[in-house]
A and B are shown apart, each in its own frame.
Chain A
C-alpha cells in the first residue's frame, strides 16, 4: 500500500500517461519469453479512468453526504499483468486512485449554513456550523484518499488432476448458499478469497471424484470509484497471518476528525476487518448425476457492526446438493439443502436457531416448449455479510461471501429489507419457440416473505410478519434469420401485500409495494458496418411504506450506434418522477476501438442514482454528473 501526496501522485500520473504515449512500440515486445526453458506469454491489460463529477444534483438541505459527493475528480488506474507458462500462471493487479480534486469539510459546512432553510430550528448558526464541519470532516476522512495497492495477486498450477493456487482466487460452491466469491462486471465488483486453494480430481470410467479445499481471507476491491470511498484496515483487525495477507492494502488513516484510537471498533476510518474463511467441497459424479457436500466456516475477530450477521464471530454453513444434468435428454434438475449456524459475539445474547435453506431448480424441454422452475425455502438463512462497518463505508454494506439464489429475474431490485432471509416460494418460466425467428416467454412467481415488512431475524412465521408477493412477466423475442438483428420486449408486474394492516399517513392499508414495467432490448443491423442498439426499462412504482409517499415513474432509454470496426456512439435519457430526485438525466458516449481488446471512450452527462442488482447481489450507485474518459489497452 502506498498512500501518497499530490506531488508523488502527479509523478505517478505522468508516468502512466507517458507510458501510454509509448505503447505503440512496447506492445510489440510482449512476445513469449523463455523463462528457465519454458515459454512464458505475458498479457498486460491497462485500464484507466479519468473522471470528474460536478454537482450531481442530489443536494438536500442540512445533509452533509449530499454535498460531499460533488466536485471531485479521480484518476483511477488498474494494471493487470499475467504471466502464462502453460501449467503455471502468475498474475498481479495493481490499483491506483489519485483524487486530483476533492471537497473541503469547511466549505461543505459553509454551503450548508448559507442554504439552511428557515422554519423550526433549535441550534444557533455557529453551533450548526461546527456540527456540520465535524460531520463533513468525518465523512471525508475515508473518501478521496490517494492509494496504490495490490488489489489481486495469484500464482496457480493446473494439471488435469490437480489445481493449486496461492493468492487471490474465485470460489463458488453449489449455487452460492455456502460460498460465492465472484467477479460481477455489471456491479464493478470483484471479490476473491486471498489465501490458498487446492482441487484434486480423480476419474475412473464414468465415475468422477473432485475435492476442493480453500482457506484465506475475504478480499474485496478496496476503492469504490463511484463514491471515492475506500475500505481501511488497521493492525487491531489483522492478527497473525492476516497481517501478511493485508500487506500493502489500504489502511485506516488518522485525521483531525478521526483520531487513531488503536482500536478498529472506535477508529472512524477503520471500516473493514477481513474475515477468515475456510471451505471445502467433495463432489462425486457418475455420468450426468452429481452429488456434493460443501461447507464454509467464517471466522471473525472484531465485529464492526451490530446486526445479527455482522455481529456473529463465527458462521458455519454446510450443504448437500444433488444434480442431474440430463433428464433423458429432456432437461435437468438440481437440489441443494443447507444449514447455517451463527455464533454471536456477545455470549450473553440469545443464540439464533439453526438456519435452513432448500433450493430446487428443474428445467424441462419438450419440443418447442421449455419450462424452468426455481423454488426456495429459507428460514433464518443469511448471506455471509463481510465485516464492513456500514456506518463508515455504507457503499460496501452489501458485500458478502455468499449469495443465496433469489430464484427471481436477474435484474430484480425489489426484494426489500431482509426479504430473502425468511422466505418460501418459487418461479415458473416458460419459453416457447413460435417459429424459426420468434419465441415467446412468460413467468409467474409467488413468494411469502416474513422479513420484508417487519424486522424478523428470528424468522417468526405469522400473519404479523407475512408479505405475499406475486411477480409475473410476459414477452417475446424476435431475431432475423441471419441472427444479426434481434429484439426482446416484455411487460411485467409485482404485487406485494402484507397480511397485517400497515399504518400510513393516509390510513391503514395492506398494500406494501406495486410495480408494472416494460423492458426492451433490440440490436439491428442497418447494413454494411452500421448497426443500432436500443434498450430501455420503464417502471411505474408505488412503495407504500417508506419511499416517496406517492406512486412514481422512472425509466432509462439508451440508443447506440456502432460503425464497425472502430467507432461507437450512444445517447442516454433517464427520467424519474420521484420528487426526491431530479426529473431528467441526459448523457452521451463516444467510443473508439483500437483493437478487439483495446478501446477508448468518453462519457459526458448525467446518470441516475440507483440500486442495481444482478442475481440478488445489489449495489447502490450514486447519481453522477460529469465526464469520464476510459481507456483500456491489452497487449
Chain B
C-alpha cells in the first residue's frame, strides 16, 4: 500500500513539474514610449568623446548633478545648490591645476562610507594642493530611499566636508557599481577623464598610496 502511494505521489509530482514548465513560458518585451527616446543628456562641448565605459581604462561619461562645490563655505539649503558636472573637472591642458579626480559614492546607511568620510577632509587638505579634487556623491538615506537636500546638508555638517559634495538621488553612478557595494571610489585622470583605479569599499591602504604616487610631489 505504501509503495503504491509513493508511486502515485511521484507521478503527480512529475506531472505538476511538467505543467509548471510549460505554462510559465512567455514573452516579456515591452514597448518604449517615444518621449523616452529623445536625445537629451548632460552634454558639454568641452569633454572627451566616447565611447564611454565603467571599467578601468575607460573614459567616464559626463554626468550632471546638483550639490555644494565647497560645503565648508556658505549655507547648505536648497538655494545654495549648484549645477556641477564631471566636465567641470576636465583639465586637458593642466590649466586648472587638476591632476586626479576622486569620485566617491556614499549613502547614509553605509557604515564604510561614513568611516571613509571621517578622514576625507584631512586627505583633501593634504592632496588638493597637489592636484587632487574629491567629488563625493550622496545617493541614499538611512532607509535606502533617495537622498534629499537635508540628508546632504546633515552629511556635510557631520563630516565637515571641504570638497565637492553632490546629491545623486537617481543613483546615476549605478552603472559603475550596485548600491550595495558602496562606497565606490573612482580615481580619474583629469587630463583624459579615463578611470585609472576603481575600488569597492573603503580601501584606504590601496587608494591613498596610489594617489600619493600618481600626483606630483
In the complex, per-residue mask of A368-400: 1 if CB is within 8 Å of any chain B CB, else 0: 000000000000000000000011001000000
Q: B112 — nearest CB in chain A belongs to which residue?
A: A417
Q: Which residues of B contact A579 (CB under 8 A)?
A: 142-143
Interface size of A as a range: 35 or more
Asked whether, in the complex, the Cβ of A125 is within 8 Å of the Cβ of B36, the reply is yes
Asked whether, in the complex, the Cβ of B111 is within 8 Å of the Cβ of A100, the reply is no
Asked whether, in the complex, the Cβ of B13 is within 8 Å of the Cβ of A631, the reply is yes
B191 contacts A by Cβ under 8 Å: no
Q: Which residues of A contact B177 (CB under 8 A)?
A: 391
Chain A to chain B: the 3 pairs with minimum beta-carbon distance, closest first? A546-B111, A549-B142, A21-B14
Known A101-B26, A455-B202; judge A545-B115 contact (CB<8 A): yes
Asked whether, in the complex, the Cβ of B66 is within 8 Å of the Cβ of A122, the reply is yes
Known A21-B11, A126-B40; judge A139-B21 contact (CB<8 A): no
Asked whether, in the complex, the Cβ of A394 is within 8 Å of the Cβ of B181, the reply is yes
Contact of A546 among B11, B29, B55, B112 (CB under 8 A): B112
B45 contacts A by Cβ under 8 Å: no
A416 and B167 alpha carbons, distance in the complex (Å): 27
* Total A-B pairs, Cβ < 8 A: 251
New A-B pairs, 11, CB < 8 Å, besides A65-B180, A416-B111? A21-B14, A24-B6, A117-B145, A120-B78, A122-B167, A134-B175, A306-B198, A307-B206, A543-B111, A629-B13, A629-B17
Asked whether, in the complex, the Cβ of A131 is within 8 Å of the Cβ of B175, the reply is yes
Q: In chain A between 119 and 158, which residues have their CB closer than 8 angstroms to a CB of chain B?
A: 119-132, 134-135, 138-139
A562 and B178 alpha carbons, distance in the complex (Å): 43
Spot the interface stretch: A88-96, A105-113, A190-198, A582-590. Answer: A105-113
Residues of B within 8 A of A (CB): 3, 6-7, 9-11, 13-18, 20-22, 24-26, 28-30, 32-33, 35-42, 54-58, 63-66, 78, 81, 83, 108-116, 118, 140, 142-146, 148-149, 154, 158-159, 167-172, 174-175, 177-181, 197-206, 209-210, 213
Asked whether, in the complex, the Cβ of A14 is within 8 Å of the Cβ of B18, the reply is yes
A457 and B181 alpha carbons, distance in the complex (Å): 18
Known A306-B206, A394-B181; judge A503-B109 contact (CB<8 A): no
A50 contacts B by Cβ under 8 Å: yes
A129 and B17 alpha carbons, distance in the complex (Å): 38
Asked whether, in the complex, the Cβ of B24 is within 8 Å of the Cβ of A100, the reply is yes
In the complex, per-residue mask of A541-574: 1 if CB is within 8 Å of any chain B CB, else 0: 0010111111000000000000000000000000
Asked whether, in the complex, the Cβ of B118 is within 8 Å of the Cβ of A548, the reply is no
Return A304 CB to nearest CB of chain B, in Å.
11
Q: Which residues of B contact A417 (CB under 8 A)?
A: 111-112, 115
A443 contacts B by Cβ under 8 Å: no
Q: Which residues of A contact B202 (CB under 8 A)?
A: 455
A34 contacts B by Cβ under 8 Å: no
Q: Which residues of B contact A592 (CB under 8 A)?
A: 9
Return B206 CB to nearest CB of chain A, in Å.
6
Residues of A within 8 A of B (CB): 6, 10, 13-14, 16-18, 20-21, 23-24, 48, 50, 52, 60-65, 73, 75, 100-101, 103-104, 106-107, 110, 113, 116-117, 119-132, 134-135, 138-139, 265-266, 268, 305-308, 311, 348-350, 352, 390-391, 394, 416-417, 453-458, 502-505, 543, 545-550, 579-580, 592, 594-595, 600, 629, 631, 633
Known A20-B14, A20-B17; judge A546-B42 contact (CB<8 A): no
A-B contact pairs, 25 of them (CB 8 A): A10-B21, A13-B17, A17-B15, A17-B18, A24-B3, A24-B11, A50-B17, A52-B24, A75-B21, A101-B24, A101-B26, A107-B28, A120-B78, A122-B64, A122-B66, A123-B41, A131-B175, A266-B56, A307-B200, A391-B178, A391-B198, A457-B204, A505-B158, A548-B142, A550-B142
Q: Which residues of A contact B159 (CB under 8 A)?
A: 503
Contact of B145 among A60, A121, A129 (CB under 8 A): A60
Return A622 CB to nearest CB of chain B, in Å.
10
Q: Which residues of A contact B205 (CB under 8 A)?
A: 308, 350, 352, 455, 457-458
Asked whether, in the complex, the Cβ of A17 is within 8 Å of the Cβ of B200, the reply is no
Asked whether, in the complex, the Cβ of B13 is within 8 Å of the Cβ of A65, the reply is no
Asked whether, in the complex, the Cβ of A63 is within 8 Å of the Cβ of B11, the reply is no
A521 and B57 alpha carbons, distance in the complex (Å): 54
